[in-house]
């Protein structure tokens, strides 16, 4: 017997052990610190250990409690970045996907996996009001944005064979996610050719500025290849004027890509906010954000199979499809960067079938309502200042600090408060800088959040602020003491 083989009864035992650990973890999730109380050195001591030459057998699993202890907990008080809470139903799909180990390259490599992914894509596209789109699942929004812009570049300024012309230009707002600048660099367009268009007071792209910049570029002999609009900016959840931008992009011969990694799936609950998204040529959206799926699971939707093939089809002889049947001859690798791909769709398929779309709609609405609850609580607390409520579920605010504090003192104070909030481990928030102001930021894409979890943000900020003030006072006194000696 190959030394790597295990019996099915042994697999059952191991899987039951993992299920037991996972269920206990879920039972206690609400009471564990949301940020692990561990230093870098401790984590190195725990995990940077020698590779065993001889197998440890079941003892290998004894390390799992340490893994959980040194992990950030996806409980109802996690509000950092834009990160979904991880539906356990989806997680069971991930386990089975690894067991059947389908390589989702093409129909012939995994008929069930390909059909399920194509079905999930249809469901998602339909759910956000973009039924005519096709697409695939990706590692995340960054990968989806890169592939969407690769299609744009090849459709509007072909470069796969001859390389990129120096005239190629791409447009996005100053609030766009860093993955767009990365994509522009990786596609050889050059970040100097990414035009960052100013935003209005709601942090939405200023469409007249876009128009003006395109006209200026055209006059200078440049080629507008793509306009990227945000359906939910990473900082505040602002939604660019999608229909207007679509019209400007198309009138000027450019591809219209929507970065909906944060927000697009909220169209399931509030479609009216996303009017114009259906006019896109491509859309990125992240089921591992606002569909609460376990990482990783991004998605790219696009309209034109031809554009996808133009960008990505470059088939080696050994992968050539042997069938002309539209289903049996289908290959994802003709439309994407990836050849080997994991069976991501299984978790989404199970999760959507188990809960039904209405449960997701309700959960997304809850998140948006929780963000409003937080914004109201901030407005009612004199020590806090609401900076941005946005249209989705991100709330940016700051601690006001002593009267007369300068902007830079306030920035420092709020950064110190954020550090302390994370260290206290009760709620997890992150930050955003808006017009030079360092803000505290809570982004709620969390199916476990309850009203009390939202309310805990306020009490934790105030507690962290008094701790920060007390430490500051002590340090000030110690400094004066040192100076006196």
Summarize as ranges the residues that interact with ligand PLP (CB under 6 A): 81-82, 140-142, 145, 177, 179, 230, 232, 234, 259, 261-262, 286, 298
Q: Which is nearer to ligand PLP, 82 or 301 (CB)?
A: 82
User: Considering the complex, what minimum distance in angstroms separates the CB of residue 291 from ligand PLP?
Assistant: 12
Radius of gyration of the chain from its Cα atoms, rounded to whole angstroms: 25
Q: What angle do CA 313, 317, 321 make, to 5 degrees?
A: 65
Helix (H) or strand (E) holding 289: helix 287-290
Round to the nearest angstrom and report the end-to-end CA distance of the chain: 76
Query: How far, in Å, CA of 290 to CA of 217, rounded?
Result: 36
Q: Are 221 and 167 in contact (CB under 8 A)?
A: yes
Q: Which is nearer to ligand PLP, 109 or 142 (CB)?
A: 142
User: Considering the complex, what minimum distance in angstroms separates the CB of residue 296 from ligand PLP?
Assistant: 7
User: Considering the complex, what minimum distance in angstroms separates the CB of residue 237 from ligand PLP?
Assistant: 9
Query: How far, in Å, CA of 122 to CA of 349, rounded?
Result: 11
Q: Are 231 and 154 in contact (CB under 8 A)?
A: no
Q: Which is nearer to ligand PLP, 93 or 298 (CB)?
A: 298
Q: Which is nearer to ligand PLP, 199 or 384 (CB)?
A: 199
Q: Are 141 and 234 in contact (CB under 8 A)?
A: no
Query: How far, in Å, CA of 454 to CA of 113, rounded?
Result: 39
User: Considering the complex, what minimum distance in angstroms separates the CB of residue 299 from ligand PLP?
Assistant: 10
Q: Are 82 and 445 in contact (CB under 8 A)?
A: yes
Measured between alpha carbons, how far is residue 218 from residues 29, 51, 209, 252, 370 in Å? Answer: 56, 59, 14, 9, 45
Q: Which is nearer to ligand PLP, 240 or 334 (CB)?
A: 240
As beta bridge partners, residue 195 has 171
Tell whether omega for the bond before 233 is within 30 degrees of 0, i.e. cis: no
User: Considering the complex, what minimum distance in angstroms separates the CB of residue 422 from ligand PLP?
Assistant: 18
User: Considering the complex, what minimum distance in angstroms separates the CB of residue 251 from ligand PLP?
Assistant: 25
User: Considering the complex, what minimum distance in angstroms separates the CB of residue 42 from ligand PLP?
Assistant: 27
Q: Which is nearer to ligand PLP, 233 or 449 (CB)?
A: 233
Pairing of strands 282-285, 223-230: unpaired
Give rounded-to-5 percent helix, strand, coil for the chain: 50, 15, 35
Query: How far, in Å, CA of 293 to CA of 286, rounded?
Result: 9
Q: Which is nearer to ligand PLP, 152 or 413 (CB)?
A: 152
Q: Are 459 and 374 in contact (CB under 8 A)?
A: no
User: Considering the complex, what minimum distance in angstroms separates the CB of residue 477 from ligand PLP?
Assistant: 42
Q: Which is nearer to ligand PLP, 294 or 401 (CB)?
A: 294
Q: Which is nearer to ligand PLP, 109 or 284 (CB)?
A: 284
User: Considering the complex, what minimum distance in angstroms separates the CB of residue 405 from ligand PLP?
Assistant: 30
Residues in CB range of 343: below 8 A, 6 or more apart: 97, 100, 101, 102, 104, 110, 113, 116, 117
User: Considering the complex, what minimum distance in angstroms separates the CB of residue 184 from ligand PLP?
Assistant: 14
Q: Which is nearer to ligand PLP, 259 or 334 (CB)?
A: 259
Q: Which of 203, 186, 205, 185 is nearest to 194 (CA)?
A: 185
Q: Which of 383, 379, 376, 366 is nearest to 460 (CA)?
A: 383
Q: Which is nearer to ligand PLP, 262 or 330 (CB)?
A: 262
Query: How far, in Å, CA of 124 to CA of 287, rounded?
Result: 9
User: Considering the complex, what minimum distance in angstroms separates the CB of residue 484 from ligand PLP?
Assistant: 50
CA dihedral 140, 143, 149, 154 (to 10 degrees): -140
């Amino acid at each position: 017997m190959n030394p790597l083989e295990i019996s099915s009864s042994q697999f059952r035992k191991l899987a039951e052990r993992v299920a037991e650990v996972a269920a206990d973890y879920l039972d206690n999730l609400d009471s564990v610190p949301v940020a692990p109380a561990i230093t870098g050195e401790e984590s190195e001591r725990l995990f940077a250990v020698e590779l065993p030459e001889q197998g440890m057998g079941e003892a290998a699993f004894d390390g799992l409690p340490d893994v959980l202890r040194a992990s950030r907990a996806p409980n109802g008080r996690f509000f950092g970045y834009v990160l979904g809470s991880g539906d356990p139903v989806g997680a069971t799909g991930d386990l089975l996907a690894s067991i059947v180990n389908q390589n989702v390259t093409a129909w012939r490599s995994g008929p069930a996996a390909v059909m399920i992914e194509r079905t999930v894509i249809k469901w998602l596209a339909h759910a956000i009001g973009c039924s005519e789109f096709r697409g695939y699942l990706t590692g995340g929004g960054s990968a989806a944005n890169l592939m969407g812009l690769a299609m744009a570049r090849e459709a509007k300024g072909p470069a796969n064979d001859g390389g990129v012309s120096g005239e190629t230009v791409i447009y996005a707002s100053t609030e766009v996610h860093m993955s767009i600048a990365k994509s522009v660099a990786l596609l050889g367009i050059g970040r100097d050719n990414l035009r960052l268009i100013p935003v209005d007071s709601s942090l939405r792209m200023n469409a007249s500025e876009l128009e003006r910049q395109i006209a200026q570029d055209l006059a200078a002999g440049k080629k507008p290849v793509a306009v990227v609009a945000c359906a939910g900016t990473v900082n505040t959840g602002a939604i660019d004027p999608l229909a207007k931008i679509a019209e400007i992009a198309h009138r000027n011969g450019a591809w219209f890509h929507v970065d909906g990694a944060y927000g697009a799936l909220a169209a399931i609950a509030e479609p009216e906010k996303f009017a114009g998204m259906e006019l896109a040529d491509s859309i990125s959206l992240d089921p591992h954000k606002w569909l609460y799926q376990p990482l990783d699971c991004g998605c790219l939707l696009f309209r034109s199979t031809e554009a996808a093939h133009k960008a990505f089809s470059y088939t080696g002889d050994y992968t050539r499809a042997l069938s002309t049947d539209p289903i049996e001859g289908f290959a994802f690798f003709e439309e994407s960067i990836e050849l080997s791909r994991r069976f991501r769709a299984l978790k989404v398929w199970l999760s959507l079938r188990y809960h039904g779309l209405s449960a997701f709609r309700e959960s997304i609405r809850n998140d948006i309502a929780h963000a409003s609850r937080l914004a109201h609580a901030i407005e009612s607390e004199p020590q806090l200042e609401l900076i941005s409520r946005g249209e989705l579920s991100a709330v940016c605010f700051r601690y006001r600090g002593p009267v007369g504090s300068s902007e830079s003192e306030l920035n420092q104070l709020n950064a110190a408060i954020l550090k302390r909030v994370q260290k206290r481990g009760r709620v997890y928030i992150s930050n955003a800088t808006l017009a030079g102001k360092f803000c505290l930021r809570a982004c709620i894409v969390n199916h476990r959040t309850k009203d009390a979890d939202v309310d805990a943000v306020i009490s934790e900020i105030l507690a962290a602020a008094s701790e920060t003030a007390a430490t500051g006072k002590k340090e000030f006194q110690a400094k004066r003491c040192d100076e006196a000696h």
